[in-house]
Structure 1
Amino acid sequence: MHNLKVGQKIEIYIEKMASEGQGIAKYDGMTVFVEKAIAGEKVQAEVSKVKKDYAVAETIHILEASLYRVEPLCPVYNLCGGCQLQHMSYEGELIFKKNKIEDALKRIGSIEVKVNDVIGMNSPYYYRSKAQYPVATVDGKAVMGFYKERSHEIVPIKECMLQNRQAENIAMEVLEFIKEFNIQVYNENTKQGLIRHIMTRYSKSTGETMVVIVARENNLPHKDELVNRLKKYDGFAGLALNINPQDTNVVLGNKNIFLYGKSRIIESIGGLKYYISPQSFFQVNPIQTEILYSKALEFANLQGDELVIDAYCGVGTISLFLARRAKQVIGIEVVEKAVEDAKENAGLNKISNADFIAGKSEDIMKDLKNRGITPDVIVVDPPRKGCDDAVLDSIIDMAPERIVYVSCNPATLARDLKKLSKKYCIKEVQPVDMFPRTSHIECVVLMTNVKNK
């Protein structure tokens, strides 16, 4: 029986790291998750939470430091929940992320397979092309920033070291406009106020920035003044007002009113162009996105005569990469607006051998199978929850030669690979660091049919 209490200070050795980046230790028989601690360190920590089976503690002093410990560059790192790993060197971060994937495959999937070293960035800062800044009132002043970890308390920021600097300067100008004209910002407790978020979308290929102000109603005072201010910034391409009257954690509402300039911008990845509108899903790291999609294309090993199914195709980003090497690509996506965007992106790139179907992947794949359509390759890029069981069943039933699985969550990847491994052999696992300085990691896996083993 443990005797840990909230507020208690303990000296503890960090045995390993959790998937979200906390250190894991044992104290008095209790598992303790230690924030901002690294495997191999001895730290003094203060207990902040005690549950039946585990406790949480905050690092106070480093008694024996890891070789990978560094001083965080961000001045609000210990407050903001946006990053989890700035106290580690980037070398240490990439090792952690590789271990995270290996651990998930072994522990959840009962899979022991070689995992390649993570493909990282030359510079792991200022890489994000999309930012969503919540806005609130702190000490009587409007501020924008990011939430503290596991809270809705905003940490005001002047510069985020992950965001594109040009886009962030434009966002800061919007904040100054809000303060100068005393425009009321939204209060989550009273449900009153107008401005909820400031969002920016930046194109690395064109240098353009779109600004989206998320408001509770269609009423932005002095909007012409704001447009005139933003026009002074290089790359400012458009201003939209997004209306979100709902009491929800979802940032964007369904309605956009375009106040100035373009309603969408264009990003280029690997020689392909993609439209980006306020609601478009698009990877936030264009440099690493090209690497990730190129690796998926390499794993697909297309010779020009294949039929490829791209399940969870979104706005057709991977589909169009594949279409340049395949005979035909069929993209499937449940979100109808994304399918419309995918068709437009195909037209933008003059690609005619990519078809997009709106619906559930398992339903569409079953229908295709019943019609005698059998793919040579199936690519999946599901959300964090992974593939639905019915999708995995459909994949196995269609029996493609190869499966390329793109994942943003090692845990659900491991779960899904365990099921697919009954009929497929894992050939290669390649992590790509899409989100440096955070605990998140993307991974692309090649599987081949066991009959071709």
Structure 2
Amino acid sequence: MGIGRTDVSSHSSNSSETKPWVIMVPGVIPGEKVVVKIFRNFPNYSEADLVEILQASPERTVPPCPIADACGGCQWQHMSISLQREWKTRLVQEALEQYGVTYSEIQPCLGTDETLHYRSKLTPHYQQPAKSKRGVQNEKHIEAIGFQKQTSRQIIDVTECLIATPAVNAAYQAARDQLLSEPSTKKKGATLLFRQANLDDDYVESDHRVFLTTVVDGLKFTYRAGNFFQNNYYVLPIMVQELVAQAIKGDQMTHLADCYCGSGLFALSAAKHFDRVVGIEVNDLAIEEATTNAVANSISNVEFLSASAEGIFKVIQDFPRETSVVVVDPPRKGCSEEFLEQLYTFSPQRIVYMSCDPTTQARDAAGILKAGYSTTYIQPFDLFPQTRHIECLMVFEKKV
């Protein structure tokens, strides 16, 4: 048991003259004085539970969810929205400074007033029912359906998720009631799916193979319910508009390459501003969806290819470098070295990089700057309020 002051988001640090020691504590706010109990030690840090708050931050709030302290789905419900966004901006800043990325300013984290009931997709889980002493599966009711706890892989029972839309919650609760009332037919646990295509339609799909159509900024995007598509329809149009605005800034760009294009969201949204657009995605099903979406929206100047991101540079050899934009939206692990080396060799005038992980984005940004670019714009987005997750847009311009 110990007392410390928190220095960083979700951490508290105890220092001595010889060696600083980091203690990871969920549910705290920088500047608070707290009592914690350490339950696990690692070579460079410890994990602890919050026991008591001796001096609370003025930004501390009562979590709207009664199980927020235990559920791993939301990590920041104890913080005001203004402080959440302040810290998301700061975490982007810290990541950039860690990798020595130079920039002029970071825009304040951008979000909307919809900080609850915004999520259009929910994927709760349940675990395998307990076995009898003889190792035979019991005809037993499922004990919990929900999400992993903050400190373990154990499932915590969730009756309602306050960040999911009302329609998604209604569908989840109906399915949950049915599953809990019957003996489990699954030998193993399962992950459920509940996805709403549009906020003005309460229909929710639970079959990952079924096609849904979502309208974003006037364009229709069709995709399989189980495939990737952003699930905050309040912030998504703002994010798309901002990316497109940065891609076309200056009215001199003529060609766009969209790497990791998915079902074509960014490529098709920007297409009307460019002479030619090429999108590439390793997922064959996503490319089928992107091609279908181009036809459905009567967009004819876009070509979609199924290949790894590195493959795009063979296709765009004839793109004029001085008026070309490359959009990069990689998975959480960031871009591969092979991709970045080919990007540097291609040397487009502008790189527009959207990321869901500020740390890997900052790592890649450091390499981009060394390749002869400067950072011209940084915009974090609060796509997932009440959680620690951040989307961040960075723009790089080729130095003269």
Using structure 1 for the length normalisation, give the TM-score. Answer: 0.80
1:11 maps onto 2:3 in alignment: yes
Distance 1:347 1:183 in 2: 46
User: Residue in 1 aligned with 2:133?
Assistant: none
AA matched with 1:284 = N
Matched residue, 1:412 = 360
Corresponding residue of 1:246 = none
- The one-letter amino acid of 1:23's match is H
Shift in alpha-carbon separation, 1:271–1:367, aligned structure 2, 3 A: closer
Contact 1:309 1:329 in 2 (8 A): yes
Instruction: Name the CA shift for 1:110/1:308 in 2 (closer, same or farther; >3 Å).
Output: closer
Which of 189, 204, 211 is the equivalent residue of 2:205?
211
Provide Cα deviations, 1:367-389, integer angstroms capped at 9, x if missing partner: 532x5665611111111011111
Output the CA distance in 2 between the equivalents of 1:141 and 1:362: 48
Post-superposition shift, 1:67?
Answer: 1.8
- CA–CA separation in structure 1 for the residues paired with 2:95 and 2:169: 36
Match of 1:277 in 2: 224
Q: Does structure 1 retain, via aligned residues, the 8 Å contact 2:95–2:358?
A: yes
| Cα separation, 2, equivalents of 1:198 and 1:177 | 13
Mapped contact 2:287–2:305 kept (Cα < 8 A): yes
Q: Secondary structure at the match of 2:124?
A: strand
Percent identical? 29
Q: In the TM superposition, what whole-angstrom CA distance separates every residue of 1:220-271 from its partner, at most 9, and x where no partner exists?
A: xxxxxxxxxxxxxxxxxxxx3x6xxxxxxxxxxxxx5xxxxxx322111111
Quick one: which amino acid aligns to residue 359 of structure 2? A
Aligned-pair CA distance for 1:109: 3.6
- Relative to structure 1, is the Cα distance of residues 115 and 372 closer, same or farther in structure 2, using a 3 angstrom cutoff? closer
* 2:377 and 2:394 in contact (8 A); partners too: yes
Matched residue, 1:26: 14
> Could you give the per-residue CA deviations for residues 109-138 of structure 1, whole angstroms, max 9, x where no partner exists?
443541110112212111111110112477
Q: For 2:65 and 2:141, locate their aligned partners in 1 and report how far apart those are by CA, in whole Å.
A: 23
Paired with 2:39 and 2:103, the residues of 1 have a C-alpha distance of 36
Structure 1 regions of 5+ residues with no counterpart?
Answer: 1-8, 187-191, 213-239, 243-255, 257-262
Q: Aligned residue pairs: how many?
A: 384
Deviation at 1:393, TM superposition (A): 1.6
- Asked whether the equivalents of residues 210 and 264 of structure 1 are also in contact (C-alpha less than 8 Å), the reply is no
For 2:384 and 2:22, how far apart are their aligned partners in 1? 28
Q: Tell me what 1:157 maps to.
A: 158
CA distance, structure 2, for counterparts of residue 445 and residue 38 of structure 1: 27
Distance 1:399 1:11, change over 3 A: same
Residue aligning to 1:316: 264
Contact 1:208 1:265 in 2 (8 A): no
Q: Give the structure 2 partner of residue 74 of structure 1.
A: 65
Give, in whole Å, the separation in 2 of the partners of 1:373 and 1:334: 25
1:338 is paired with a residue whose SS is helix
Q: Scaled by the length of structure 2, what TM-score is found?
A: 0.91
- Measure the CA separation in 1 of the matches of 2:223 and 2:202: 11
Aligned counterpart for 1:84 among listed residues 53, 65, 75: 75
Q: In terms of mean alpha carbon deviation, does 130-139 or 49-58 score higher? A: 130-139
Three-state SS of the structure 2 residue aligned to 1:121 is coil
Q: Which runs of 4+ in 1 moved over 4 A?
A: 137-140, 371-375
Distance 1:206 1:121, change over 3 A: closer
2:30 maps to 39
Q: Work out whether 1:176 is the aligned partner of 2:166.
A: no
Give the aligned residue type for 1:152. R
Alpha-carbon RMSD across the aligned residues, in angstroms, is 2.0
Higher relative contact order (CA 8 A, sep 6+): 2
